[in-house]
């Protein structure tokens, strides 16, 4: 496989500047491991998982990658910072679980005390005598957030999330092609690697963002549509059948599930269905919740939750994670070659 050589691929030791996002309810050990095995980089989402379940997923990743218990684990773990902030007594243990497994990276997003968790990771590394430091990924959606992450937290990787992104994000986030140049304008030459996230599905998307100046991209929806994703067959079929107008930003599903501790201004992009319509129409919340819970049990596509970004229409089949990475890499290289040819001409 030909390699893309830039700051991010060198930092991660990978040939393909693609990251599979840590998606709660979707990203487990198999998805992370197979993504990394193919030359990109995969994350497990701690999300709403119990500590024992997180350990199971990390052990699965280690087994799939054929690593011993003492080997570094070339995947990451993503944490919802607001989940850590809900229970400070157990937060350190949740972080230490990933760190003791020698994961390569920690991803932090959506919290009011992210700097606190970064300090914890770095203190753990220092006290444990770890040879290679744990890399810190932080997700941002504005120049203001980026500047804090760059100068105050000194993160290793910035993830710029545009409004096109599936799942949760800041409702006020600008589109990716506005956000990325704005952050690049303030990014020091010796600053962190910048990745782009939001509505990206193809190798053409990857090459376009690389040409814009980022070091890599993060894909979510594309990896939901893999055999290794935790999404069930009904959810995956809904993604395959979705079109460019199928998604909407909403808090309807969080209200239906009772997951309302997100920081102010955060909502989620998902496939529009009756749950959203009922919430918008003012149907009593208890009725909406009852119907939603029944739909989850019955896998009713008219009411269940399916997070999806705006690029969902561009993917029309379910593949293995490794096949997705290989296809993205080949498509990306083809587009980059075309660009080089045009420049030479």
User: What are the structural domain ranges in the chain?
Assistant: 7-232+310-344
pLDDT tens profile 103-154: 999 999 999 999 999 999 999 999 998 888 999 999 999 999 999 999 999 9
pLDDT at 340 over 70: no
The correct CATH number of 7-232+310-344 out of 3.40.50.2020, 3.40.50.720, 3.20.20.70, 3.30.830.10 is 3.20.20.70
**Mean pLDDT, the chain, integer:** 95
Six token digits for residue 290 = 């009852």
The first and second tokens of residue 226, run together, are 């893999």
Interval 165-212: pLDDT, tens: 999 999 999 999 999 999 999 999 999 999 999 999 999 999 999 999
Q: Which two tokens stand for residue 253?
A: 């599903």
Query: What DSSP state is assigned to residue 74?
Result: E
Side-by-side strand order, sheet with 266-271? 167-170, 266-271, 247-250
pLDDT higher than 90, residue 338: no
Confidence of residue 228 (pLDDT cuts 50, 70, 90): very high
CB 49 within 8 A of CB 242: no
Least confident stretch, 78-82, 88-92, 161-165: 88-92
Give the pair of three-digit tokens for residue 184: 């690049």
The pLDDT > 70 percentage for the chain reads 97
Is the pLDDT score of 1 beyond 70?
Answer: no
pLDDT value for 88: 87
Give the alpha-carbon dihedral of 186, 187, 189, 194, to 10 degrees.
Answer: -160
Q: For residue 50, with 0-12 CB atoms within 10 Å meaning exposed, 13-18 middle and 19 or more buried, which class applies?
A: exposed
Which residue's structure tokens are 């919740």? 289
CA 193 to chain centre: 16
What sections of the chain are H helices per DSSP? Answer: 7-12, 29-37, 51-64, 81-86, 88-100, 114-128, 143-147, 176-184, 203-212, 221-224, 233-241, 252-257, 274-280, 285-298, 321-344
Residue with tokens 């980089």: 41
> How far, in Å, CA of 85 to CA of 66, rounded?
34
By residue count, the chain amounts to 345
pLDDT(345) > 60: no
Predicted local confidence at residue 344, as pLDDT = 61
Q: What number is the average pLDDT over the span 255-276?
A: 96
Q: Are 171 and 266 in contact (CB under 8 A)?
A: yes
Q: Is 212 exposed, middle or buried (0-12, 13-18, 19+ CB in 10 A)?
A: middle
Q: How far is CA 31 from the centre of its chain?
A: 12
Mean pLDDT for 47-76 is: 96
Q: Residue 70: left if φ>0, alpha if ψ -120 to 50, beta else—which one?
A: alpha
Tokens representing 21 are: 């996002």
Q: How far apart are CA 75 and CA 22, in angstroms?
A: 11
| 47: β partners | none
């Amino acid at each position: 496989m030909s390699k893309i050589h830039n700051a991010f691929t060198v930092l991660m030791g990978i040939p393909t500047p693609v990251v599979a996002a840590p998606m709660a309810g979707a990203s487990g050990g198999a998805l992370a491991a197979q993504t990394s095995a193919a030359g990109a980089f995969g994350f497990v989402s701690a999300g709403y998982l119990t500590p024992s379940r997180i350990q199971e997923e990390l052990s699965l990743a280690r087994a799939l990658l054929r690593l011993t218990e003492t080997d570094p684990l070339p995947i990451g773990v993503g944490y919802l910072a607001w989940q850590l902030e809900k229970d400070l007594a157990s937060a350190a243990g949740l972080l230490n679980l990933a760190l003791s497994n020698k994961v390569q990276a920690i991803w932090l997003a959506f919290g009011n005390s992210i700097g606190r968790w970064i300090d914890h990771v770095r203190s753990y590394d220092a006290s444990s005598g770890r040879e290679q430091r744990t890399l810190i990924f932080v997700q941002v959606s504005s120049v203001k957030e980026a500047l804090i992450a760059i100068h105050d937290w000194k993160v290793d990787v910035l993830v710029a999330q545009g409004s096109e992104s599936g799942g949760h994000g800041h409702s006020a986030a600008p589109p990716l092609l506005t956000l990325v140049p704005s952050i690049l304008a303030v990014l020091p030459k010796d600053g962190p690697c910048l990745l782009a996230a939001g509505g990206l599905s193809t190798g053409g998307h990857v090459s376009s963002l690389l040409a814009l100046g980022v070091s890599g991209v993060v894909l979510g929806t594309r990896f939901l549509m893999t055999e290794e994703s935790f999404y069930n067959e009904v959810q995956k079929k809904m993604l395959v059948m979705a079109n460019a107008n199928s998604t909407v930003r909403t808090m309807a599903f969080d209200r239906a599930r009772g997951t309302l501790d997100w920081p102010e201004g955060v909502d989620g992009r998902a496939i529009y269905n009756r749950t959203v319509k009922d919430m918008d129409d003012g149907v009593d919340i208890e009725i909406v919740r009852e119907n939603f819970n029944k739909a989850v049990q019955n896998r009713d596509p008219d009411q269940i939750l399916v997070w999806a970004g705006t690029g969902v229409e561009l993917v029309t089949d379910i593949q293995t994670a490794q096949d997705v990475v290989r296809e993205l890499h080949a498509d990306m290289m083809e587009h980059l070659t075309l660009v080089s040819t045009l420049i030479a001409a």
